[in-house]
Amino acid sequence: MRTIYDFTVKDRKGNDVNLSAYAGKVLLIVNTATGCGFTPHYEPLEAMYQDLKDRGFEILDFPCNQFANQTPGDADEIHQFCTLKFGADFPQFKKINVNGDEAEPLFAFLATEKPFEGFGRGIKNAALNTFAKANNKKFGDKAYIKWNFTKFLIDREGKVAARFEPTVDMKEVRAAVEALLG
């Protein structure tokens, strides 16, 4: 059975990182954006990281520009924005595609393990669903991720435990992380 430890990704400087380096840790893998309505998620993500990293928790940040071009700039510009505006201290990786033929294989795997089940109820969620459907039409059956700040929770064995759409309250995400940390 495959786990995330079977994947190698690029850090923000372009160096290979085998995800087996995170074996035994609880991970939250996130596709992020610097100019999105959900960009303020960096704040509770950083707070969670600072509070829980000593218990074996890591956040892996993968910037992506496939949703309304909300992540312009190169790796250094993105990193500078995240560190200066939000104090983000968790590992940030190379900007990637999460959908289409050039999707990062890790994200195709994550989304296959925990497929999209909807954004939830409410006017805001319905509006996001409409916009996401229009954006993702170009990717067809390879529209793995529906929007920025989709989060995948990974257990200590490298298995996908949960998927959180950006509309899920960060308190719920944190509770799930803490439950896995024990």
- Provide the pLDDT for residue 113: 97
The per-residue pLDDT for 100 is 95
Quote the pLDDT of residue 84: 85
Q: Given this model, what pLDDT does residue 141 score?
A: 87
Please list the pLDDT of the chain residue by residue as tens digits (182 residues). 899 999 999 999 999 999 999 999 999 999 999 999 899 999 999 999 999 999 999 999 999 999 988 998 888 899 899 888 888 999 999 999 999 999 999 999 999 999 999 998 888 788 888 888 888 888 988 999 999 999 999 999 999 999 999 999 999 999 999 999 99
For residue 122, the model assigns a pLDDT of 81
Task: Please give the class, per CATH, of domain 4-181.
Answer: alpha beta
Residue from 36, 52, 96, 170 carrying the catalytic annotation: 36
pTM over 0.85: yes
What are the residue ranges spanned by the domains of the chain? 4-181
| Torsion angle of the four alpha carbons 52, 58, 63, 68, in this order, in degrees rounded to the nearest 10 | -50
**Three-class secondary structure assignment of the chain:** CCCHHHCEEEECCCCEEEHHHHCCCEEEEEEECCCCCCHHHHHHHHHHHHHHHHHCEEEEEEEECCCCCCCCCCHHHHHHHHHHHHCCCCCEECCECCCCCCCCHHHHHHHHHCCCCCCCCCHHHHHHHHHHHHHHHHHHHHCCCCCCCCEEEECCCCCEEEEECCCCCHHHHHHHHHHHHC
pLDDT of residue 161: 98
Is 82 assigned a catalytic role? no
